[in-house]
Amino acid sequence: MLNPEIAEAMDASERYLMDEDAYREYLQRESAIWDYNNDINGSREEGHEEEKQNTILRLWRKKKSLADMIDATDWTAEQINSFLRSQNLQPAK
């Protein structure tokens, strides 16, 4: 015996496969949901990167060590110094 939820899902999937318009609408909805979730996750990651950049700048202004910057951001020394150079700042030591 199938679980009732599984049987219902299978029935719904069969209906979609039989009705091309409904299936196309389903694909469009799924695509929209996928795009939305990707946009949200991308924005979240950009926010984290921007926060790390701001942290590096604050620590650099306070003349903190490269080790402190690494601990605060989990970036490598190369990533930190590359970012500082992109800001026309001296690499951290």
With vertex at residue 64, the alpha carbon angle to CA 62 and CA 69, rounded to the nearest 5 degrees, is 120
Confidence of residue 8 (pLDDT cuts 50, 70, 90): confident
Q: Spell out the domain ranges in the chain.
A: 4-86
CA gap 71, 73 in Å, rounded: 6
CA gap 85, 92 in Å, rounded: 10
**Residue showing tokens 């069969």:** 14
Whether pTM exceeds 0.85: no
Q: What is the pLDDT of residues 16-66, one digit of tens each?
A: 677 788 778 888 888 888 888 888 877 777 778 999 999 999 999 999 999
Confidence of residue 89 (pLDDT cuts 50, 70, 90): very high
Cβ neighbours around 2 below 10 Å, total: 9
